[in-house]
Chain A
Amino acid sequence: MSAPLLITFDQVWKSYGEGEARVHALAGVDLAIRRGEFVAIMGPSGSGKSTAMNIIGCLDTPTAGTYSFMGVDAGRLDRNRRALLRNLYVGFVFQGYNLLPRTTAAENVELPLIYRGVAARERRDLAMQALAEVGLVGREHHTPAELSGGQQQRVAIARAIVTRPTLLVADEPTGNLDTARTHEIMELLARLNTGLGLSIVMVTHEADVADYAGRTIRFLDGHVASDTLKAEAAA
């Protein structure tokens, strides 16, 4: 593990509410993830895994403690700077795909490039390339309604990687898919991890999905309950 650090949590707290009703979604989490890692985050609902994922994806900020992303104190950035960080370095894949309806696959994939100010022609080329990488050549003009769940998730992955991000954040990416489709998507993510060196942080409920990751972090009651590398687990 000589790769540089991508993410560090230093005594990160995330709390909601006031006084008696105060709830701690994260209660002093320490965590480090290096570039190129494929990490699965597991835990029951309410364990803080979604909160951790939102902070990792620069969507949310900690109440206390330090979250640094690529050496930047991302927890203290305002929302527009975090938007810029997301646009430049983070790709998102969601359980419900979250594609824009009635918008073609190619246009969905182009979307993050629009906010980067990439010219139309270049956008088209990059989107085609990303769609090819997820195996969707020939479907670029289909709208989400005309695609199967697995295909929609591939479009979402293409949208996430079209900007060549450093980190891919996946929130239960296979939660809506059947077993066969689940394995196809997971193989695609694993390939992107090894082939492109893309760091992946994935939240999941399913152990066999987590098995594709090189490292599994379990959350419980706002703490990291366990943190295991695949090699250790096998040993």
Chain B
Amino acid sequence: MIWETVRLSLRSIRRNILRSFLTLLGIVIGVAAVIAMLTIGSGTTEKVKADISKLGSNLLVVRAGRPAGPGGPGGPDQTVRPLAEKDIAALVAHLSGARAISPAAQKQVRVIFGTESLTTGVTGTDSAYLDARDWKLVSGRPFSDSETRAGTGVCLIGETVRQQFFGAGDPEGEIIRVNRTSCKIIGLLEPKGYTGFGQDQDNVVLMPLHAYQRRIAGNRDIDNIYIAADERTPTSELQPRVEDILRDTRRVTPDRDPDFAIRDMTQIADAMTSATTTMTGMLGAVAGVSLLVGGIGIMNIMLVSVTERTREIGIRLAIGAHEKHILIQFLVEATVLSLLGGIIGIVIGLSLAGLASMALTIPFAPSPAVVLLAVGFSALIGMVFGFFPALRGARLDPIDALRHE
């Protein structure tokens, strides 16, 4: 009986193919928009998570300046003392629960090899940097401790720098000019790709801190200290310890604000993830409104259909159709119509999300739950918005209906 009714409704949808298609369009657009938004949204969330874990998991970053206030991140404050090597020394000596502690100072600098040149981010650091930031070498070796101490002219380069100067070739042993100093390449960094903010993380040159300070920066400042927590220590526990040690070495009394800021990358990751999730939810809700509009389209067309087929309803009632048979017939028709729209919408929505994922280089993350929800929701829309027209059809008086031209 129900299969019979489904067949019947498919036939009546086919008979008015253009009208059915136009009616479907509302549901198709609604479902496609919801699916695309939610899929792209969850892809973005995954991308953000991955980006942040690329920065290094369980990472604290210390920099000079006041901590970020409620008005946003506190900018670099010139009146504040920069971080110095004694701060590092104090952390290395007293901090427990850290896997790696590494200083870093950065600057955008012009790098030259042969006739090619490239503006790149040069970072002066030590051999613990790779460990702190979970960064591996594709080939070559990190700086030795003696190179770090002596400030030898050696460097590690990122994938972008290699491609610019050497194509697919092996850069090891080549000499590049960084600013006015020359530097021997001893290793190639593993590619990390772009950050969520579009910054190329592979356009980098790493060199020993002392070499950077002497030959490029011309001062002894340290911009950041990277502290990676070990497996047993959560960053939230590590952070107050770091603050205590730095207050002590930098002589900041407990009643004053510290002249340094500690950023917890785990917290930032959580905040950004929840921000993208909220964004996704909001876009999904907006797209959901178009589903509602689609539902009203279904209701409208079902009312037209009931009026058009008044005579048919009369015939069916005369030969013994129960009220519920007519009700079910039109309900099934509305449901089949909106389900069809839902299925087409899912296909289009997933295709759009797939294309967008490729374009935005985010992971394509279709969620079976979202797809099921869309199917269920579109069927529900058919039932809800089909009910009133169906009831109107079922309640027709057979005599009037038969007389209807």
Binding site for B on A (CB under 8 A): 54, 57, 59-60, 79-80, 83-84, 86-88, 90-92, 94, 98-100, 102, 111-112, 114-117, 120, 159-160, 163
The minimal Cβ–Cβ distance linking B401 to chain A, given in whole angstroms, is 10
Q: Is the CB of B1 within 8 A of A114?
A: yes
Closest A residue to B398 using CB positions: A59
Name, among B1, B318, B321, the residue most crowded by chain A CB atoms within 10 Å (CB to CB). B318
Which A residue's beta carbon lies closest to that of B5?
A: A114
Nearest-neighbor residue (CB-CB) of A159 within chain B: B319
The one of A84, A98, A160 in contact with B322, judged by C-beta atoms closer than 8 angstroms, is A84
Q: Which residues of A contact B1 (CB under 8 A)?
A: 114, 117
Does B192 count as interface, using CB distance less than 8 angstroms? no
Let me know if A83 and B320 touch, CB within 8 A. yes
Contact between chains at A59 and B399 (CB < 8 Å): yes
Q: Are B399 and A54 in contact (CB under 8 A)?
A: yes
Task: From A79, A100, A114, A117, give the contact of B315 (CB < 8 A).
Answer: A100
Taking Cβ atoms with an 8 Å cutoff, the residues of B that contact A are 1, 4, 15, 311-312, 314-325, 398-399, 402
Q: Which of B314, B316, B320, B402 contacts A84 (CB 8 A)?
A: B320
- Determine the chain A residues whose CB is within 8 A of the CB of B402 once the complex forms: 94, 98
Closest chain B residue to A171, Cβ basis = B402
Main secondary structure of the interface of A (DSSP, over half): helix
User: Pick the contact of A87 from B314, B320, B323, B324 — CB < 8 Å?
Assistant: B320
| Contact (Cβ within 8 A) A80 B322 | yes
- Is A88 touching B320 in the complex (CB atoms < 8 A)? yes
Q: Nearest Cβ distance between residue B156 and chain A, in whole angstroms?
A: 76
CB distance from B310 to the nearest CB of A (A): 12
Given contacts A54-B399, A116-B320, contact A100 B312 (CB under 8 A): yes
CB atoms of B399 and A79 under 8 A apart: no
Q: List 23 A-B contacts (CB under 8 A).
A: A57-B318, A59-B399, A80-B322, A80-B323, A80-B324, A83-B321, A83-B323, A84-B320, A86-B318, A86-B320, A87-B319, A87-B321, A90-B320, A92-B318, A94-B402, A99-B315, A100-B312, A100-B315, A102-B15, A112-B320, A114-B4, A116-B320, A120-B4
Instruction: Tell which of A80, A115, A163 has the most Cβ of chain B within 10 Å.
Output: A115
Report the bound CA distance from A115 to B319 in whole Å: 9
- Taken together as a complex, chains A and B put the C-alpha atoms of A65 and B42 apart, in Å, by 71
The 5 closest A-B pairs by CB, nearest first: A87-B320, A112-B319, A86-B320, A98-B315, A115-B321
Which chain B residue lies CB-closest to A108? B315
Listed residue (A83, A111, A115) with the most chain B CB atoms within 10 angstroms of its CB: A83
Contacts of B315 in A (CB 8 A): 98-100, 111
Please name 17 further chain A to chain B contacts, defined as beta carbons within 8 Å, in addition to the given A83-B321, A94-B402, A100-B315, sorted by A numbering: A54-B399, A59-B398, A79-B323, A80-B322, A86-B320, A90-B320, A98-B315, A98-B402, A102-B15, A111-B315, A111-B319, A115-B320, A115-B322, A115-B325, A117-B1, A120-B4, A159-B319
Give chain B nearest CB distance to A105 CB in angstroms.
15
> Cα distance A112–B128 when bound, in Å?
85
Distance, CA A54 to CA B324, complexed state (A): 22
Q: How far apart are the CA atoms of A54 and B399 in the complex, in Å? A: 8
- What distance in Å separates the Cβ of A183 from its nearest Cβ neighbour in chain B? 26
Shortest distance between the CB of B6 and any CB in chain A (Å): 13
CB distance from B97 to the nearest CB of A (A): 74
- Please name all residues of chain A whose beta carbon is closer than 8 Å to the beta carbon of B314 when the two chains form the complex: 98
